[in-house]
């Protein structure tokens, strides 16, 4: 048995695929590792009652190789064209996204400029309202001064009227005293009568002057009263206008703030939309590239196996070999059975006393 195994393995096994040989009481079994081999690449022949030859070759005919090469070249050309098309589409999408960004920036700049103009208008109106408020305060001060002057004029008029009344009473008292003096009084000298007459006339003149002053004071007081009433009406009107302007200004300021906040929110929304579009364009380009690659490679996947990358290789793949196995016992050549599955060739060789040379088909 050891001689048979030595004969099978030979002096060097580096050019042969690794093969295990198993013997039982009824048969021999060969298990050979042939990765990448197909049934048509392996041949099993029984030459005599003790010998079995195993040969194999990984080859591809010229026509199939040429077809495969052309197919790979077409695939590469299609992939290059798809890459150029995808790059061009991505560039167009980037340009479109940049145009949208520029449009959003221009819109944002317009909104900011409009907001600044409205802010300046609000400041100007606020300054105008402050000026109106100052004018109203000045008019109110003038009204108070006019009321004080009117009160002073009324006091002066009352004082003049009192003095005139006292002078009138004094004159009447003098005339009454003259009338009650009788004949003796009439005998006074001409100078005394003249003096009394002059005094009376002077008192009458003074009374008339005081009455005229009272009249003038009354007229001045009435005029002052009219001026005070006009000033009060103007102050009330100015106060109403100021309140109306303040209410309008407050409402306009609120509207401007609302517009500014709305513009900022809209600008932020536009920025987010542009960013989303840019991300979506990138994702769509990637998905389309993957889809095109899958579509172009789908037919090839049905025609050729998926290539795998070996992390480690612990044995060499033998592209061509021929091994002769010599058994110690006779074998039954007609009943030899061979199967190739998952890169492992199993050959079942029954033991027998007769032998013949024949071709063995691999299942």
Query: What is the DSSP annotation of 49-61?
Result: SSEEEEEEE----
Question: Residues 69, 331: contact at Cβ < 8 Å?
Answer: no
Terminal C-alpha separation, the chain: 29
- Give residue 6's pLDDT: 39
- Give residue 9's pLDDT: 42
Domain boundaries, the chain: 85-272
Question: Residues 53, 360: contact at Cβ < 8 Å?
Answer: no
Count of helices and strands (H, E) across the chain? 4, 8
* Class of the CATH domain delimited by 85-272: mainly alpha
pTM of the model: 0.30
Listing DSSP states for 23-90 in one string gives E-SSEEEEEEE-TT--GGGEEEEE-SSSEEEEEEE----HHHHHHHHHHHHHHHHHHHHHHHHHHHHH
- Give residue 284's pLDDT: 62
- Give residue 1's pLDDT: 41
- Give residue 271's pLDDT: 77
Distance, CA of 295 to CA of 175 (rounded, Å)? 141
Given the DSSP bridges, would you call strands 337-341 and 344-350 parallel, antiparallel or unpaired?
A: antiparallel
- Return the SS3 of 314: coil
- Give residue 29's pLDDT: 95
- Give residue 296's pLDDT: 47
- Give residue 302's pLDDT: 47
Q: Which residues of the chain have pLDDT under 50?
A: 1-14, 294-303, 355-356
Task: Single out the residue of 253, 272, 271, 249 nearest to residue 261, CA to CA.
Answer: 253
């Amino acid at each position: 048995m050891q001689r048979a195994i030595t004969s099978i393995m030979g002096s060097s096994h580096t050019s042969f695929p690794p093969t295990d040989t198993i013997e039982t009481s009824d048969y021999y079994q060969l298990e050979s590792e042939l990765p990448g081999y197909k049934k048509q690449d392996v041949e099993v022949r029984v030459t005599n009652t003790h010998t079995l030859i195993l040969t194999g070759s990984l080859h591809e005919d010229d026509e199939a190789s040429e077809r495969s090469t052309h197919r790979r070249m077409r695939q590469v050309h299609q992939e290059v064209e798809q890459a150029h098309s995808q790059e061009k589409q991505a560039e167009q999408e980037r340009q479109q996204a940049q145009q949208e960004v520029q449009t959003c920036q221009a819109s944002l700049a317009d909104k900011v400029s409009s907001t600044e103009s409205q802010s300046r208008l609000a400041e100007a109106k606020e300054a105008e309202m402050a000026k109106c408020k100052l004018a109203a305060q000045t008019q109110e001060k003038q009204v108070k001064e006019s009321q004080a002057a009117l009160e002073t004029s009324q006091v002066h008029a009352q004082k003049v009227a009192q003095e005139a009344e006292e002078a009138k009473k004094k004159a009447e008292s003098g005339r009454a005293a003259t009338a009650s003096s009788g004949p003796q009084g009439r005998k006074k000298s001409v100078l005394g009568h003249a003096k009394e007459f002059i005094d009376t006339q002077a008192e009458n003149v003074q009374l008339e002057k005081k009455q005229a002053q009272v009249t003038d004071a009354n007229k001045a007081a009435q005029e002052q009263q009219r001026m005070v009433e006009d000033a009060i009406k103007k102050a009330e009107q100015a106060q109403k206008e100021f309140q109306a302007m303040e209410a309008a200004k407050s409402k306009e300021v609120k509207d401007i703030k609302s517009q500014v906040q709305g513009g900022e929110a809209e600008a932020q929304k536009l920025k987010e939309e542009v960013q989303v579009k840019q991300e979506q364009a990138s994702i769509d380009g990637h998905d389309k590239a993957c889809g095109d690659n899958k579509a172009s490679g789908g037919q090839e996947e049905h025609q050729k196996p998926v290539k795998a990358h070996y992390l480690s290789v612990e044995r060499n793949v033998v592209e061509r070999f021929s091994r002769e196995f010599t058994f110690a016992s006779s074998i039954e050549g007609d009943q030899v059975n061979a199967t190739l599955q998952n890169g492992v060739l199993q050959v079942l060789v029954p033991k027998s006393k007769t032998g013949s040379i024949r071709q063995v088909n691999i299942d």
